[in-house]
């Protein structure tokens, strides 16, 4: 038969369809295969099932290894950060391109804000501490109707049932006829109630700062602090000691004023560290920021504590409140001028935790490595990436206004409710509980040491000094210990600790690379499967806490021994030479406890912020508030323990408790990563990160894949479309790098690995 051909032409495309001749009629079809039955069918099915299982297991083994590596590189536990990228340090949290982002503020503005907040917090704490237990004898005379300056003629002695001053015996001869002292418990309320108020204030201030912003809460708290100080100074004006109602009214006003001061000083627990170390600076600057905050508080408190007994004995105790109130007002003006709104809700959880940087829209920002910058990011490097056209620049209203710039304008009460839930869920976290326990023990130990030192100084029987000089010098216990510890905190807790933690990260990574370079390829692959790549872990801050724990244990033992011999030397008036040496050692032991407390405060706060960046506020609230609650309930109990057990046994208890608490440090160091992943989950890491020993080669690129990418291109619509055409000629080209085009043999394991390596690049650009 003839061959039939049809030719059709449409536009520029010609299609030829040729019909094949039919098969001859006498052609025989192949015989149909007989269907298997019986044992032959079972054997065939078993064979095919076996082959399918082998193929499936081979594919699973081939792909699971790579999938596990990519998943390990992509998902990081909260608190695990890819801080170093090919030898360069990234800025974490990631600063956005918005000039209104607090992380994009100039360096001078950040540190001006930190110093302003530190001065406000220092004055609030100093007003609470310096005018508290140190001036208890002066307050007792004031509310008993005697002149407070009569404290110069008082002779102090130890109580019969406690290692504390017997105020009744010391102040009784100075009282007018028929007058009596207020109960000691009521006088102690002037120093303990502010602690409880400060502890409770943090649980309100942090959720409130999430709803309305950090700046309004800081300004209101500062307002409460300096108004409370002025109110406390004016509370006893016009006091008539002969009228019980007047005494009760004056005392209640004084107590209410000090509670208001405690409400302002509650910001030092969580809100000021949250703004200074979480909102304004990057991860590698947190130690220095918190060290400055804590050191300024310690130095100012030391100065006012040393001056308080002198002013109370020689002049008027109200001057301390007036001085604190005026200085607090100036600090409030500094807050208005230098501390902008730092609440920033546009940063994602991944950006806060330091993950991401795997795509084109998530670009890393690196810290400057110039020597003149000291490793801190330069303003020029940050300003070069800011997008003023899209977001606009900062204005005077942006810097000094309240409820300014979206998203700050809208109050976010649902976020405040979430913060309250975060307070509940973070209370029982092991890291939070351990840090709160250590800080509470150190705070109570230092407070007890300072009180016992003051008591020993007041009750010392010396022949070269009179009673007025003894009381005036009682503030040196806090002045010398806190002053010296505050200066050392900047060096040890800021400069040294920050670089030490970065050194721990680099050392662990280099150690892993060294071990892997000595293994054969098979053992190296097995090690990669079982151990994740070393990155910046929050637990790298824990070795820095070994120093404060060691100082605290040594200080507790030293204080117990020195206090024992000091009490014996004070009973012997002739042993003045030995007593003078013991006073120096007693102040040295108190200084060790103060330094340990401040260093633990800095290191523990940084550890909590880095462990749970999204829960930083609630974690800091628990650590700071529980410290004050412990001081409220344990205040004065050490004196009873010393009187019943002796100085050596009492302070051995503190040392033993610290030793037991120190056991939590290695437990958190080795198990903290698992606890963080269990409690807070994971965040997305760098999706195209190389997992291997060559991850941190100096000079390499950061953020994305360093390998080549496959690119697919298509012609423009004008080139690929013609009016009235049914079939068009479309050309699709794939441009590859030589390394990709000259890849391994298709179907091999190396080919699968290379395909997976470039899968994200191909899928993201195919269309």
CA 731 to chain centre: 56
What's residue 645's pLDDT?
85
Cross-strand partners of 9: 14
SS3 content of the chain, % helix, strand, coil (to 5): 65, 5, 30
For residues 450 and 280, the answer to whether their CB atoms sit within 8 Å is no
Query: What are the sequence ranges of the domains in the chain?
Result: 91-152+191-429, 433-611+636-678
What's residue 670's pLDDT?
93
pTM of the model: 0.78
- Spatial distance between the Cα atoms of 734 and 716, rounded to a whole number of angstroms: 16
Tell me the torsion sign for CA atoms 613, 616, 618, 620. positive
Query: Hey, is 552 helix, strand or coil?
Result: helix
Query: Closest by alpha carbon to 171, among 208, 197, 145, 206?
Result: 145
**Which residues are CB-contacts of 542 (< 8 A; sequence separation ≥ 6)?**
607, 665, 668, 669, 672
Over residues 533-571, the pLDDT tens digits come to 778 899 999 999 999 999 999 999 999 999 888 777 665
What's residue 724's pLDDT?
36
For residues 435 and 608, the answer to whether their CB atoms sit within 8 Å is yes
What's residue 26's pLDDT?
52
For residues 149 and 180, the answer to whether their CB atoms sit within 8 Å is no
For residue 690 the two structure tokens come to: 């190389």
Residue 609 burial (CB count, 10 A): 24
- Spatial distance between the Cα atoms of 395 and 535, rounded to a whole number of angstroms: 39
| Residue 16 phi, psi (nearest 5) | -115, 125
What's residue 133's pLDDT?
79
- Spatial distance between the Cα atoms of 576 and 582, rounded to a whole number of angstroms: 10
What's residue 163's pLDDT?
74
- Spatial distance between the Cα atoms of 446 and 305, rounded to a whole number of angstroms: 15
Q: How far apart are the first and last CA of the chain?
A: 49
Q: Which residue has the tokens 């003045």?
A: 576
What's residue 520's pLDDT?
82
For residues 109 and 338, the answer to whether their CB atoms sit within 8 Å is yes
- Spatial distance between the Cα atoms of 198 and 630, rounded to a whole number of angstroms: 12
What's residue 253's pLDDT?
92
Enclosing H/E stretch for 733: strand 733-735
What's residue 6's pLDDT?
45
**Which residues are CB-contacts of 536 (< 8 A; sequence separation ≥ 6)?**
80, 81, 82, 83, 84, 283, 354, 505
- Spatial distance between the Cα atoms of 511 and 509, rounded to a whole number of angstroms: 5
- Spatial distance between the Cα atoms of 743 and 739, rounded to a whole number of angstroms: 6
Query: Hey, is 735 helix, strand or coil?
Result: strand
Query: Hey, is 713 helix, strand or coil?
Result: strand
What's residue 358's pLDDT?
43
Query: Hey, is 691 helix, strand or coil?
Result: coil
For residues 552 and 593, the answer to whether their CB atoms sit within 8 Å is yes
What's residue 206's pLDDT?
94
- Spatial distance between the Cα atoms of 592 and 117, rounded to a whole number of angstroms: 26
What's residue 19's pLDDT?
55
What is the fold, at CATH topology level, of the domain defined by 91-152+191-429? Growth Hormone; Chain: A; (1.20.1250)
Q: Which stretches of the chain score pLDDT less than 50?
A: 1-13, 62-63, 358-362, 369-377, 408, 462-465, 573-575, 687-767
For residue 640 the two structure tokens come to: 């009873």
For residue 591 the two structure tokens come to: 């200084």
Query: Hey, is 174 helix, strand or coil?
Result: helix
């Amino acid at each position: 038969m003839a061959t039939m051909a049809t030719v059709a032409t449409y536009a520029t495309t010609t299609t030829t369809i040729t019909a094949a001749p039919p098969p001859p009629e006498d052609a025989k079809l192949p015989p149909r295969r007989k269907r298997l039955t019986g044992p032959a069918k079972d054997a065939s099915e078993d064979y095919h099932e076996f082959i399918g299982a082998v193929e499936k297991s081979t594919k699973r083994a081939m792909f699971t290894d790579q999938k596990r590596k990519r998943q390990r590189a992509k998902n990081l536990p909260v608190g695990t950060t890819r801080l170093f990228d090919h030898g360069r340090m990234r800025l974490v949290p990631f600063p956005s391109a918005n000039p209104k982002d607090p992380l994009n503020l100039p360096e001078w503005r950040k540190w001006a804000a930190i110093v302003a907040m530190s001065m406000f917090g220092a004055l609030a704490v100093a007003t609470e501490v310096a005018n508290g237990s140190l001036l208890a004898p002066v307050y007792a005379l004031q509310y008993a109707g005697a002149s407070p300056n009569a404290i110069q003629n008082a002779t102090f002695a130890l109580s019969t049932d406690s290692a504390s001053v017997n105020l009744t015996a010391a102040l009784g001869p100075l009282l007018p006829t028929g007058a009596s002292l207020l109960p000691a418990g009521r006088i102690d309320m002037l120093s303990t109630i502010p602690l409880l108020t400060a502890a409770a204030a943090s649980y309100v201030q942090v959720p409130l700062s999430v709803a309305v912003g950090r700046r309004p809460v800081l300004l209101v708290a500062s307002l409460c602090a300096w108004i409370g100080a002025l109110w406390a100074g004016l509370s006893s004006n016009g006091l008539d000691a002969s009228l019980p109602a007047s005494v009760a009214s004056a005392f209640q006003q004084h107590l209410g004023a000090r509670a208001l001061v405690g409400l302002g000083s509650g910001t030092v627990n969580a809100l000021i560290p949250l703004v200074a170390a979480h909102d304004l600076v990057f991860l590698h600057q947190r130690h220095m920021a918190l060290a400055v905050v804590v050191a300024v508080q310690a130095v100012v408190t030391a100065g006012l504590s040393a001056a308080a007994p002198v002013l109370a004995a020689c002049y008027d105790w109200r001057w301390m409140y007036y001085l604190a109130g005026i200085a607090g007002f100036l600090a409030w003006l500094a807050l208005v001028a230098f501390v902008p709104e730092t609440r920033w809700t546009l940063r994602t959880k991944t950006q806060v935790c330091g993950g991401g940087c795997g795509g084109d829209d998530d670009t890393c920002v690196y810290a400057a490595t110039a020597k003149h910058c000291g490793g801190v990011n330069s303003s020029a490097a940050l300003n070069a990436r800011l997008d003023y056209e899209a977001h606009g620049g900062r204005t005077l209203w942006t810097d000094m206004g309240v409820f300014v710039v979206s998203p700050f304008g809208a109050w976010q009460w649902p976020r405040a409710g979430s913060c309250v839930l975060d307070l509940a869920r973070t209370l029982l976290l092991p890291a939070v509980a351990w840090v709160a326990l250590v800080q509470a023990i150190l705070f109570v130990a230092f407070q007890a040491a300072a009180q016992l030192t003051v008591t020993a100084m007041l009750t010392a029987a010396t022949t070269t000094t009179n009673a007025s000089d003894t009381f005036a010098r009682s503030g040196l216990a806090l002045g010398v210990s806190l002053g010296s510890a505050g200066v050392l905190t900047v060096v040890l807790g800021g400069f040294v600790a920050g670089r030490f933690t970065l050194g721990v990260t680099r050392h662990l990574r280099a150690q892993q690379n060294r071990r892997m370079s000595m293994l054969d390829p098979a053992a190296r692959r097995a090690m990669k499967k079982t151990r994740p790549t070393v990155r910046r872990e929050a637990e790298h801050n824990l070795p820095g806490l070994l120093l404060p724990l060691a100082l605290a244990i040594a200080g507790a033992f030293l204080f117990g021994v020195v206090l024992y011999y000091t009490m014996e030397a004070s009973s012997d008036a002739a042993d003045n030479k030995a007593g003078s040496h013991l006073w120096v050692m007693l102040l040295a032991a108190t200084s060790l406890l103060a330094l340990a407390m401040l260093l633990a405060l800095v290191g523990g706060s940084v550890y909590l912020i880095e462990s749970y960046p999204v829960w930083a506020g609630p974690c800091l609230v628990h650590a700071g508030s529980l410290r004050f609650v412990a001081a409220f309930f344990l205040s004065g109990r050490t004196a009873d323990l010393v009187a019943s057990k002796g100085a050596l046994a009492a302070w051995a208890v503190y040392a033993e408790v610290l030793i037991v608490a120190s056991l939590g440090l290695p437990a958190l160091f080795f198990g903290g990563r698992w606890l963080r992943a269990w409690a807070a989950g994971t965040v997305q890491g760098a999706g195209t990160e190389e997992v291997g020993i060559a991850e941190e080669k100096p000079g390499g690129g950061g953020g994305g894949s360093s390998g080549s990418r496959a690119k697919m291109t298509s012609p423009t619509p004008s080139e690929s479309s013609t009016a009235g055409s049914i079939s068009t000629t479309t050309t699709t080209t794939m441009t590859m790098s030589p390394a990709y085009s000259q890849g391994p043999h298709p179907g091999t394991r190396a080919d699968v690995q290379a395909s997976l390596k470039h899968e994200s690049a191909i899928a993201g650009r195919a269309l």
